[in-house]
Structure 1
Amino acid sequence: MKFEKVRWGIIGCGNVTEVKSGPAFQKVKNSELVAVMRRTGELAKDYAKRHNVPKWYDDADALLNDPEVNAVYIATPPGSHKEYTLKAAKAGKPVYVEKPMALNFSESKEMIEACKTAGVPLYVAYYRRAQPRFLKIKELLESGAIGDVRFVSTTQHQIPSEDVKDPAKLPWRVQSEVSGGGLFFDLASHTLDLLNFLLGPIKEVHGFASNQAGYYKAEDIVTGTYRFESGVHSVGSWCFTAFENKDVNEIIGSKGKITFSTFGTEPVLLTTANGSEQWDFEPPQHVHQPLVETVVKELTGEGQVCPSTGETGSQASWVMDQMTQGQK
């Protein structure tokens, strides 16, 4: 499958598409955004007008059947990712789907199989895989800057927002039937996918998931241990009802360590017996753009391969399922 130009249609032009992703489809070479869809037609019309998109729809099937659309970005909550991915595959159109890629690993597998059967590529929007900040970490690891990797620790703590305390205003991200679980599924998925990218696949997982604060039914704390195929060990704790915000990852090796955050803008810090060195990176204006560029280059045959596929994206879903399967 090779295109001269990738002509995108977006299903679900909500908040994430305003700055993070939507404009990237118009700024990348050989890419253009030709249609958007939202169930509320007036909102789709408004988005199209503000972003100079030629067409808008309030029906996903109409967008999928538009002959001008040759690739689809699914930016809805995870609860509808499988449905729209299967429809896009049936329509013969490559899919770029938001993360986490589905409600669970089982749905992820269905999506992968549907796209394989239809002969269309499936990409997942784990956009950190293409950002310079995290590519620098990968470069440090591959150059042996910290020697042999031994251990990884992840700590993510978050002060609960007021909306999660009001049952009448619960955001979709903590409604498991829509999101797959609580904030762990929305946020930890980024870190787990990133660690898979940096260190190879996670192969063994043990975890505990609970709801401690009682603001909603989904888990609000998860702790886990996991082991990579390479033999590297890891521990993680994610608490979304803590008194402070904290976001720290450490990759520890035989000769040093790399410290970085998943969501912050702190420098990437390398510490060895010889001292420390750090690198600062400005986040991209449109955080999806570096990854979207790899997708477009792959689809137009420019020799680049997107590093985030259905296969890689499903690995994070598997790990999260394993960590939360015994929620109490």
Structure 2
Amino acid sequence: MKKISDSEVRWGVLGVGNVCEVKSAPAMNIVPNSKLAAVMRRDEAKVKDYAERHKVPKWYTSAEALIQDPEINAIYIATPPNAHLELTRLAAAAGKPVYVEKPMARTYTECQEMIAICEKAGVPLYVAYYRRSLPHFNRIKELLDEGAIGEIRSVHINLKQVVEPELIAKLEFNWRVHPEISGGGYFFDLASHQLDLLDFFFGKITHASGFSANQAKAYQAEDIVVGSFVFENGVLGTGNWCFTSSHSAEKDEIIIDGNRGQIRFATFGKGEFTLIQDFQEPRNFHLQLPHHIQQPLIQSIVEDLLGNGTCPSTGISGARANWVMGELVKNRIS
């Protein structure tokens, strides 16, 4: 697999929207041996503004032009999912490693095509499931691997959110609820993080089934999903995702049960989790999150590309979240 022969990763970013303001792209100038060298957006005024504010030396309105820039040796695709496959194709054809936002694509089939394209071109493919590199989730994995709560029996995901009036007012601009762009609704945007994280903890999910529906009719995509799944190590899981809930029912919690204890945490929280061991007082952990939330994962990609480490989130692992989501929403209740 070709990585890069340079001593520095020089990033070109396609699609500098909100995710690139704080979460991701600025970290590329902080990670050692890494540089944010060029950005692209079709709106000239917006991409120029981004480049000026973030002191990026080059900006483009054409994805092809940025990809062909000889100074750029790695591509970060930060667009909505409907563009991921084609932009991956262009980057791989230019021989440049690809880092793509999550969810990896709209469908598992698109993910498989992206993997095949990069394998044929001999370039690495990474996915922005950055929770695999955050300190509190790594500490949870250590505790699980050490047997802190014994043999794992089950895991349960409970995510409930309300429909904010602002979402309805700006529905046409919210790509996350348009399946032709995102692959589904908020389930595809948020549950992908949760399912990938559990894949990191327990390995591949081998069986999954569920039901989905559009209960509130606020938009076309599914707004509720329930399902169950089985990991390759025998752990059983369930999930309940509702995006048209009441304020009183709002919840973001994953519960991991073992035969000697339990771990509870929020996927989208502040670096906190609770460890409950039999016959002991609960222990609350709080690990500091990085200001640029993707920085640890980006650092692992840079180290991987330069031959100094490995990245925990690849196209192979990232595609698995899409497969599970596809199975969970397959049975749509009208």
TM range (shorter): over 0.9
Report the CA distance between 1:161 and its aligned residue: 1.5
- Residue identity matched to 1:184: F
Report the CA distance between 1:276 and its aligned residue: 1.6
CA distance in 2, matches of 1:249, 1:268: 10
Question: Given the alignment of the two structures, is residue 238 of structure 1 paired with residue 244 of structure 2, yes or no?
Answer: no
Question: Given the alignment of the two structures, is residue 300 of structure 1 paired with residue 306 of structure 2, yes or no?
Answer: yes
Task: Report if aligned partners of 2:271, 2:289 keep a CA contact under 8 Å in 1.
Answer: no
Unaligned runs of 5+ in 2: none
SS in 2 for 1:23: helix
CA distance in 1, matches of 2:295, 2:154: 31
1:285 to 291, 300, 308: 291
Give the equivalent residue in structure 1 for 2:253: 248
Task: Report if aligned partners of 2:158, 2:252 keep a CA contact under 8 Å in 1.
Answer: yes
Report the CA distance between 1:229 and its aligned residue: 0.6
1:45-66: CA deviation from partner (whole Å, max 9, x where unpaired): 1111110100000000000000
Give the equivalent residue in structure 2 for 1:196: 199
TM-score under structure 1 length normalisation: 0.98
1:14-38: CA deviation from partner (whole Å, max 9, x where unpaired): 1100000011111000000110000
CA distance in 1, matches of 2:170, 2:200: 37
Matched length: 327
Task: Report if aligned partners of 1:167, 1:216 keep a CA contact under 8 Å in 2.
Answer: no
- Residue identity matched to 1:276: P
Give the equivalent residue in structure 2 for 1:39: 42
1:155 to 129, 153, 158: 158
SS in 2 for 1:10: strand
- Residue identity matched to 2:291: Q
Give the equivalent residue in structure 1 for 2:15: 12
Report the CA distance between 1:327 and its aligned residue: 1.6
1:128-152: CA deviation from partner (whole Å, max 9, x where unpaired): 0001010000000011101100100
Task: Report if aligned partners of 1:166, 1:215 keep a CA contact under 8 Å in 2.
Answer: no
- Runs of 4 or more off by more than 6 Å in structure 1? none
SS in 2 for 1:248: strand
Q: 1:33 to 1:170 in 2, by over 3 A?
A: closer
CA RMSD of aligned residues (A): 1.1
Question: Given the alignment of the two structures, is residue 119 of structure 1 paired with residue 122 of structure 2, yes or no?
Answer: yes
Report the CA distance between 1:165 and its aligned residue: 2.6
- Residue identity matched to 2:121: A
1:216 to 219, 222, 230: 219
% identical equivalent positions:
51
2:182 to 173, 179, 194: 179
Give the equivalent residue in structure 2 for 1:275: 281
Give the equivalent residue in structure 2 for 1:24: 27
Task: Report if aligned partners of 1:163, 1:170 keep a CA contact under 8 Å in 2.
Answer: no
- Residue identity matched to 2:328: M
Task: Report if aligned partners of 1:167, 1:215 keep a CA contact under 8 Å in 2.
Answer: no
- Select between 131-140 and 266-275 the one with higher mean Cα deviation: 266-275
Report the CA distance between 1:164 and its aligned residue: 3.3
Task: Report if aligned partners of 2:27, 2:298 keep a CA contact under 8 Å in 1.
Answer: yes
Report the CA distance between 1:282 and its aligned residue: 2.3
Task: Report if aligned partners of 1:153, 1:235 keep a CA contact under 8 Å in 2.
Answer: yes
Task: Report if aligned partners of 2:11, 2:75 keep a CA contact under 8 Å in 1.
Answer: yes
Task: Report if aligned partners of 1:163, 1:171 keep a CA contact under 8 Å in 2.
Answer: no
Unaligned runs of 5+ in 1: none
SS in 2 for 1:327: strand
CA distance in 2, matches of 1:232, 1:197: 13
TM-score under structure 2 length normalisation: 0.96
Task: Report if aligned partners of 2:44, 2:61 keep a CA contact under 8 Å in 1.
Answer: yes
